[in-house]
Structure 1
Amino acid sequence: MLIAITRDVSSSLGGCELSYVPRGAIDVTTAAAQHRGYQKALESLGCRVMALPAEDALPDAVFVEDVAVVLDEVAILTRPGAESRRAEVSSVAEVLARHRPLRALEAPGTLDGGDVLRVGRSLYVGQSARSNAAGIAQLRDRVAEFGYEVHPVPIRGCLHLKSAVTQVAEDTLLVQPAWVDPAAFAGFRRIEVDPGEEHAANALWLGSGVVYPACFPRTQRRLEDAGIAVTSVDVSELQKAEGAVTCCSLVLREVP
Structure 2
Amino acid sequence: MLIAITRELSPGMEHCELSFVPREAIDMELAYRQHRQYQQVLADLGCEVISLPPEATMPDAVFVEDVALVFDEVAVMTRPGAESRRAEGASVAAVLKPYRKIVAIQAPGTLDGGDVLRIGRTVYVGASARSNPAGIEQLRALLTGHGYRVQAVAIRGCLHLKSSVTALTDDTVLVQPEWVDPSVFADFKIIEVDPDEPHAANALRAGSGILYPSCFPKTQARLAAAGIVVSTVDVSELQKAEGAVTCCSLVFAA
Please report the TM-score for the alignment, with normalisation by the length of structure 2: 0.99
- 2:175 equivalent in structure 1: 175
Judge conservation of contact 1:5–1:249 (CA < 8 Å) in 2: yes
Q: Amino acid of the residue matched to residue 168 of structure 1? A: L
Give matches, 1:1-256, under 5 Å. Answer: 1-254=1-254
After TM superposition, where is structure 1 displaced by more than 3 Å over at least 4 residues in a row?
none
CA distance in 2, matches of 1:33, 1:56: 18
Question: Is the 1:116–1:161 Cα contact (8 Å) retained in structure 2?
Answer: yes
User: Could you tell me how far apart the structure 2 residues matched to 1:134 and 1:164 are?
Assistant: 22
> Do the aligned residues in 1 keep the contact of 2:46 with 2:207 (CA within 8 Å)?
no
- Once the 2 structures are TM-superposed, how far is the Cα of residue 229 of structure 1 from its aligned partner? 1.3
AA in 1 matched with 2:25: A
Contact kept? 1:209, 1:228, Cα under 8 Å: no
* Percent pairwise identity: 66
Decide whether the 8 Å contact of 1:169 with 1:207 is kept in 2: no
Deviations 1:20-61 (A, max 9, x none): 000010111211110000001101111110000111110000
- The number of residues matched between the two structures is 254
Deviations 1:137-166 (A, max 9, x none): 000001111000000000000000000000
- Matches of 2:44 and 2:224, distance apart in 1: 18
- For the residues of structure 2 that align with 1:170 and 1:70, how far apart are their CA atoms? 17
Instruction: For residue 80 of structure 1, give the secondary structure of its aligned residue in structure 2.
Output: coil
| Alpha-carbon offset, residue 208 of structure 1 | 1.8
* Unmatched runs of 5 consecutive residues or more in structure 2: none
For the aligned residues, what is the CA RMSD? 0.6
Distance 2:208 2:106 in 1: 36
Q: Deviation digits for residues 8-28 of structure 1, max 9, x if unmatched?
A: 011000000000000010111
Aligned partners of 1:158 and 1:243: how far apart in 2? 12
Please give the alpha-carbon distance, in whole angstroms, between the structure 2 residues aligned to 1:95 and 1:207.
20
For structure 1, which segment, 83-92 or 222-231, has the greater mean C-alpha deviation from structure 2 after superposition?
A: 222-231
